Structures are given as structure tokens and as C-alpha cells.
């Protein structure tokens, strides 16, 4: 008789557990999904095919190829140079199709810069393919022997299948300047 009771108790517990799980399933309690998309570019592989450059007032940019002393890591880096009153930017398009379309997808970007003059105003911006600015952070950076990281806060991707990360050098009031760029990191993630 002890075996029957034990079997009945076990069956009762299994049925109770199944009933609780069946009740919780519509509430979304259970297995969560998460995803991460990551993109990195250190200017090492054909940067002129990936990065576009523009500027005003004879400002511009380019790439330091096979000059490890100019790079933060590796052998290559980018650079922007501005004339007084001008600006210059480099931008790269990043495909986000693997995580786009989820309302809870958030992204962030960071890049290392090395200002070559006393003070530089530098912005990191995110743009969509329609020319809409999604995010902008402008900051001032002192000239330095070391690279400094600039980054975005998290922002919502929405249904965009690609975005542009743009680094803008505004120089300083009344004088131009140069910055070096290296080691872009872009990540999007979702939980849900």
C-alpha cells in the first residue's frame, strides 16, 4: 500500500507542476530570449572601402596605413583635420538587420580618439539611411599623448536595418586641429 501512495503523490505533484506551468505560460514567465549583435572596425582591412569622409573649409581626413605608432592597436588608424571655422567627419555604415524590428533593441557605439592639439570639440553621432540624426554627443577633449574613448548612451534601434556611426571633428574656436581615430565598437542587444 505504501507504493501506491508514493506513486499517487508523485503523480499529483507532476500534475500540480504542469498546471502551474500552464497558467504561467500566457504571462510570459518562463524562458527569455536574448540577442547580441556586435561590430568592430580597427581600420585594419581596407578602411577606404568602408569609411566615408567629408568636410568643410578645406577640412578632411584620411587613413594612416602601416604606421603602428599612429594606431591605438594594430597598424592602421584614421584621422580628421579641420581648418579654422570648418569641420570634418568620417562615417561607417553598420548593418543591423539581425536585430532590427524588435521594439526593445538598444544599441551603443564607442571609438577611441587622439586629439593632436590643445583642445578639440568632437561629436559621435548616429544617423539612419534617411538622413535623420538618431543620437549626438558633443564633448571637448584635451590634446594628449594617449587615446581617449568617446561613446554614445544606449538608444533604440527600432526597425532600421542599418545605421551610420559618424565621428565629427569641429576643431576649436579660431583654430583648426587634427584627431586620430581607432577601434570602433558597435553593439545592439535585446531581451525579450
Give dist(CA 37, CA 99) in Å, integer. 7
> C-alpha grid cell for residue 160?
532600421
pLDDT at residue number 111: 97
CATH of 32-191, one of 2.60.120.260, 1.10.10.10, 2.40.30.110, 3.40.1410.10: 2.60.120.260
Q: Which of 43, 125, 32 is nearest to 79 (CA)?
A: 43
- This prediction has a pTM of 0.80
What pLDDT, in 10s, does the model give residues 8-53? 555 555 555 444 444 444 444 445 567 889 999 999 999 999 999 9
The pLDDT profile of the chain, 192 residues, written as one tens digit per residue, is 444 455 555 555 555 544 444 444 444 444 556 788 999 999 999 999 999 999 998 899 999 999 999 999 999 999 999 988 889 999 999 999 888 888 789 999 999 999 988 788 999 999 999 999 999 999 988 878 899 999 999 999 998 999 999 999 987 766 778 999 999 999 999 876
Amino acid at each position: 500500500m505504501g507504493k501506491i501512495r508514493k506513486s499517487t503523490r508523485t503523480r499529483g505533484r507532476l500534475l500540480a507542476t504542469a498546471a502551474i506551468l500552464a497558467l504561467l505560460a500566457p504571462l510570459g514567465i518562463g524562458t527569455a530570449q536574448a540577442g547580441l549583435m556586435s561590430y568592430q572596425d580597427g581600420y585594419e582591412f581596407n578602411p577606404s572601402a568602408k569609411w566615408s569622409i567629408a568636410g568643410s573649409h578645406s577640412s578632411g581626413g584620411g587613413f594612416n596605413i602601416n604606421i603602428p605608432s599612429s594606431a591605438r592597436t594594430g597598424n592602421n588608424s584614421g584621422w580628421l583635420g579641420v581648418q579654422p571655422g570648418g569641420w570634418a567627419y568620417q562615417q561607417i555604415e553598420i548593418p543591423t538587420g539581425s536585430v532590427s524590428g524588435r521594439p526593445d533593441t538598444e544599441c551603443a557605439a564607442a571609438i577611441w580618439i587622439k586629439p593632436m592639439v590643445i583642445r578639440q570639440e568632437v561629436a559621435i553621432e548616429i544617423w539612419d539611411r534617411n538622413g535623420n540624426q538618431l543620437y549626438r554627443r558633443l564633448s571637448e577633449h584635451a590634446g594628449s599623448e594617449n587615446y581617449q574613448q568617446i561613446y554614445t548612451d544606449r538608444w533604440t534601434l527600432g526597425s532600421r536595418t542599418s545605421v551610420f556611426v559618424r565621428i565629427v571633428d569641429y576643431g576649436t574656436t579660431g583654430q583648426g586641429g587634427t584627431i586620430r581615430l581607432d577601434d570602433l565598437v558597435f553593439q545592439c542587444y535585446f531581451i525579450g
